[in-house]
Amino acid sequence: MDRQSKMTMNNAKNNRAAWLRGGDAECDAPPKPVKRPRRLVLLGAPGSGKGTQAELLVRNLGGCHLSTGDIFRTASCSEDKVASPAVREALDAMAKGELVRDETVLDMVRERAACLRCGGGVLLDGFPRTVAQADALADFLIQQNLRLDAVINFELPIDTIVRRLGGRRTCSDCRAVFHTESHPPREEGVCDHCGGALLQRDDDRPEAVLVRMAAYERETAPLIEYYRRRGLLLNVSADGSPETVCERAVRLLEADGAV
């Protein structure tokens, strides 16, 4: 059995419960330890396909996709509303339209230190977002006797991002996502799965995308330079099919010695 098949089997049932719920939660099927678990940070603008690439990299390399956004979504949708102090503080700030403090986000990650020590490796997505968070993460990893192997930055031209996001349509009922060019529904404007109406989100309109990209550039440019200076940054073109982009990323990791 090849590496990809093994890793797919190892991770097929991993529900990341420890990461999503924190506290005493345990994953039903944590990744099996490997000789050299990889710890990666993923960067990429909205529309770059970073989420899809995270899934593909997990299938190819093993480990867990640890997304801070998933923690927020899980806590927000939980019926029992059980959340750690740091997550509650972050949700309260978001509900008020305020920025979540760097220290709050770091506390949320600290509560999940066991996940960062996962013997199968991790892919951090959504954290760090600022240089201050990157500094704090570096200090915390040193305390845990860990280190980052690489930071993958998925790059895509702004006009391609506008086209990708501008063509996205979301079902008003089941939230399934389609695309007018790359993944159109069988019937225009109608969800294949439940028959609900397909709508364009306000933040996917071209003018909104440009505003989001400007904010991303302001926020992320210093972080990209931060990791470049430390010799950890690997820029990967996100143009092409998801499989092609993933192959590029894996080849760069192999050439860099991170695989």
What are the residue numbers of the active site? 50, 129, 168, 201, 212
**Which segments of the chain are extended strands (E)?**
39-44, 64-67, 122-125, 150-155, 168-171, 177-179, 198-199, 233-237
- H or E element at residue 68: helix 68-77
Angle, nearest 10°, between helix axes 102-110 and 131-143? 30
- Measured CA to CA in angstroms, residue 67 lies from 43, 74, 113 at distances of 12, 11, 14
CA neighbor of 19 nearest in space, from 60, 73, 100: 73
Sheet holding 177-179, edge to edge: 177-179, 168-171, 198-199
CA–CA gap between residue 15 and residue 136 (Å, rounded): 27
